[in-house]
Structure formats: C-alpha cells, structure tokens
Amino acid sequence: MIDRPSARISSRKQPRQARSTELVAAILQAAVQVLAKEGAGRFTTARVAEKAGVSVGSVYQYFPNKAAILFRLQSDEWRQTTDLLRAILEDNDRPPLERLRNLVHAFIRSECEEAEMRLALSDAAPLYRDAPEAQDIRVAGAEIVQAFMREALPGASDAVRAVAGDLIKATLSQVGKAFSESSRTDAEIKAYADAMADMFRAYLERLGHGAARKP
C-alpha cells in the first residue's frame, strides 16, 4: 500500500563534491533497481540503502524519505521529456508539422523503451503529484507546447490553441502509455507513431483552415 504523501519531497541537500555526486548516483541507480523489482508498494529507503551498499543514514543525508527518492526519479524522467519537447518543438529549421511528427516518433519510442519504469513510477504518483515541485515541471512543459501552438496555428485564437495543445499532450501521454504496456517491434512502433502523427496533422490543418476562413 502506498504511504500518504509527505510534506517534503525535495532532496535534503545537493551534492557538491565528486564523492557526494557519486554517492547520490549510486543511490538513484539502486532505487531504479529496487523499484523495478519490488514495485512502488514495497519500495523502501532501507531496501535502496542495502542495494546501494550504503547505510540508511547516508541515504537520509540527501533524501529525507522514500517519496523524495521516487520524486527524484520521476522528476528526472519529466525533465528528460521536457528536454525532448524543447529540442524538437523549438527546432526552427523544420516546419511545425514535421516537428510534431518527429516528436510523436521520439515520444512513442521512449514510452516503449522505458515502459516498466514508467509504470512503476505511475504507481508512486500519489506520493508527489500535487507537490509544488511537480507542478513547476508540468508548467515548463506546457509553456513549450503553447509556444509551439502559437507557431503552428498563428491565425487561431488562444482558446483554440490551448485546447489543441492539451488534446495533443493528453493523447500522447495516455495513448502512448497504453500502447507501451505490451512489447512492440520497431515496425509496430513506427506504424503506430506514423498513424498518430497523421491524425495530429489532419487535426491541426483543419484548425488552421478554419482560422483562415474567419473574417
């Protein structure tokens, strides 16, 4: 059973020396292994310390509780997704719809490659999903999508762009998660991503044509 959310999920302190950085890296690597093996329900700080070969006190120097460890794993994953969004959607050398297609392919492949860890982290989400730190990361991703929508749909209203951005994000997240829960071949991933990208393209083109017809 998942514990109630803790009021504190931030790291207790940030490593400043090479030895401390290596210790935190070892703790996080051990946390990934424990989470993959035991799941969120049996994930404990003691198990992480044992797997990392360090004392529980050493873990507590950097993470005040297990929620802080899990949030660090989740926030690292969120930041990777945010970096992916930024790198692809802000690539001004490519037209918007090509960027969106590239994002769909990269995102679906990432979901499939990391499905086991994402599933385990989703089970732990009640520990931190309403925390301010989690909200800040989500806002950063939303701002990237909103900026892309202003470029992809220059003639549409803010309300239309907001709905389109929310729909695309929700579809990528929910449908990508469902698709990745089964083992997929490269050919299946490509075919699925192409189909989803075609769907998004048709949707945005319809919105764009509708905005162009308005007086």
Residue 182: both structure tokens together? 């089964």
- Per-residue pLDDT tens over the stretch 110-145: 999 888 777 777 777 776 767 777 778 778 888 999
In angstroms, the CA 130 to CA 7 distance is 10
- Per-residue pLDDT tens over the stretch 58-90: 999 999 998 889 888 888 888 888 899 999 999
Cα distances (Å, whole numbers) of residue 193 to 85, 113, 157:
16, 14, 28
